[in-house]
Structure 1
Amino acid sequence: MDVPAHLAALTGTPVARLRTLGRSHAWTLYHADLADSHRVFVKAFDHEGADELPDLDGILTAEAAGLRWLAAAHPSLVPPVLAADTRMLVLPWLPPQSATATSADQLGRDLATLHAATPDSFGAPWDGYIATLPLSNAAGPGEWGPWYAEHRLAPYLPAAAPELGRDGVRLLDRVIDRITDLAGPPEPPARLHGDLWSGNVLWTADRALLIDPAAHGGHRETDLAMLALFGAPHLDRILSAYQEIAPLNSGWRQRIPLHQLHPLLVHVVLFGGSYRGMLLSAAASALAG
């Protein structure tokens, strides 16, 4: 794909300058200056052979749909989608800044507001992805636990099994079998980012913005557990500010490992056995509850 030409066609503006920021998964990231003086961030499937990969066609459109869905509930929490198709996503260029205590407090309040925008069911009205893996967003009208087991845990076990071994798979199967008991008090679906590790929080001069979502209706503890998985700056302040707006149910800290099982399974599938120990430790902690 000719990235400058595709970007110009998508935005309706010629490209004055294009700078490569690096590769991530199957796409390349760019910083572009447009001829109308706007600066944009671009994610593009531009590697050789990308046009022959129909299985990836939905990734960027799903990301755009997720950003717009989150913006419908909290427009100042995500960057606006400037343009998108199956091969390119264009967002405003937002220079990153260091996290501050003030912006962390604001993020906690913003997440509480976002989660309170209750969708009709668990899941989402589009086919989801997390990184390059398909993510089932099939609607679920019942409680969260069985939906999580069916759509976030079970689908990834077969691909992870060679790394987990028989005992590891059995441990995850025990979690799935006990999911109703482990899931905690019933809660309505919350509007989630869905992949909220610290790298998907863009700290700007004014506030934190959420990028690269796997958005869906889920359990609000999932976003908070994901922030804790690889560490987020000022996490205690984020959680404290969140609780001031929307107190969490008792036992939420004990359920953190349960919510971390899905992203850890995804990491085992994508990156191999280096995440096996973390996954099995989280599974054991979830069962210990």
Structure 2
Amino acid sequence: MLDPERVGELLGVPAVEVADRGSSHSWTLHQVRLADGREVFVKAAHDQAGVFAAEAAGLRWLDEAGPGMPVAGVLAADEHHLILPWLAAEPVTAAAAERFGRELAALHTSSPPSSYGASWPGFIADLPLDNSLTSADAGEAWPRWYAERRLVPFLSRAAGHLSGPDVALIERVITEIETLAGPPEPPSRIHGDLWSGNVMWSGGRGWLIDPAAHGGHRETDLAMLALFGAPHMSRVLSAYDEVAPLAAGWRERVPLHQLHPLLVHVALFGGSYRAAAVDAARAALG
């Protein structure tokens, strides 16, 4: 699927060496050395124009929050390739985790959008996301936006792996969303799929990759980061809270924000994630 000649055309520098780095979902992953000595990371697919366009748009939009954002830069993209700088992985230190917490807080609070959603069609993995824009009214629009654009569509996708009572429980979360969502917050620029595998640790800091970026609730990113465990998570949270303190009760709302990604996992991987999604719904309801 990778076309080294096309990579060279996109970057204006010939590709001279390619190392395959596995695959993910519907695309393959590659490390490419260019004739000028640079190395780049390339996702390649037969046809993932929508996914690659959404990822490129999301990375660029996150980076527009301000200087020094922890966002991997987009070098080029077309319908078959997404090209980013090569980031050499390194062990995560406590100092890097704290820096990431501060930088994530700055991303969430700098240059906030005026609406929930995004101006481009969204994807999470290779599943479509409804990014329909909804103007924020003192943050009060988010609960219904989250319910209708995230929970309802993925409950439908996951329903074949859920029992009738499971579906009824999650429908109750959707019905009661306004009382579960906590105090109103304005929209933030959020990554939208911030599990630990979408943070690349390199150069003493964490870099955001593979976003499902949109205007959303900042607690969503933190809940997702905690879902599968992130290194030095307590330090990330402490540093984040120093820059942008979280609203009271945020820990109790973590399951609500984790419910959508867990439904995504049920839709993608089946019943092995059913119990976790049902537990999150039950915990969200208290």
Q: Same fold (TM over 0.5)?
A: yes
2:168 maps to 1:170: yes
Using the alignment, how far apart are the partners of 1:271 and 1:72 within structure 2? 34
What SS does structure 1 have at the residue aligned with 2:135? Answer: coil
CA distance in 1, matches of 2:94, 2:126: 33
Which amino acid is 2:116 matched to?
Answer: F
Task: Give the structure-2-normalised TM-score.
Answer: 0.96
- What per-residue deviation string (whole Å, max 9, x for no partner) do you get for residues 90-129 of structure 1? 0111101111110111111111110013101000111110
Following the alignment from structure 1 to structure 2, what is the Cα–Cα distance between the partners of residues 253 and 104? Answer: 20
The answer for the alignment partner of 1:70 in structure 2 is 62
**Superposition map of 1:225-264 within 5 A:** 225-264=223-262
The residue aligned with 2:131 is 137
- For the residue of structure 2 that corresponds to 1:97, the secondary structure is coil
* Aligned length, in residue pairs: 280
| Amino acid in structure 2 at the alignment position of 1:124 | A
Q: Which amino acid aligns with 1:41?
A: F
**Aligned equivalents of 2:236, 2:135: Cα separation in 1:** 30
Within the candidate set 94, 97, 105, 2:98 is matched to: 105
Q: Unaligned stretches of 5+ in structure 2? A: none
Partner of 2:277: 279
- Note the alpha carbon deviations across 1:224-283, whole angstroms, 9 max, x for none: 000100000000000001111111111100000000001000000001000000000000
| CA spacing shift, 1:96–1:2, aligned 2, 3 Å | closer
* Equivalent residue letter for 2:221: D
Cα offsets for 1:193-222 (capped at 9, x unmatched): 110000001111221111101000000000
Q: Which deviates more, 72-81 or 30-39?
A: 72-81
Report % sequence identity.
58
Q: Which runs of 5+ in 1 are unaligned?
A: none
Q: Distance in 1 between matches of 2:38 and 2:116?
A: 37
Partner Cα separation in structure 1 for residue 122 and residue 103 of structure 2: 23
Structure 1 residues 75 and 96: CA distance shift in structure 2, 3 A: farther
After the TM superposition, which parts of structure 1 deviate over 3 Å for at least 4 consecutive aligned residues? none
The superposition leaves residues 28-87 of structure 1 with CA deviations (integer Å, 9 ceiling, x where unpaired) of 000000111110000010xxxx34xxxx42100110001000111145311211111121
Task: Compare 209-218 and 4-13 and name the one that shifted more.
Answer: 4-13
Match of 1:60 in 2: 52
Residue 119 (structure 1) aligned with residue 117 (structure 2): no
Please tell me the residue identity of whatever aligns with 1:98: P
| Counterpart residue identity of residue 278, structure 2 | L
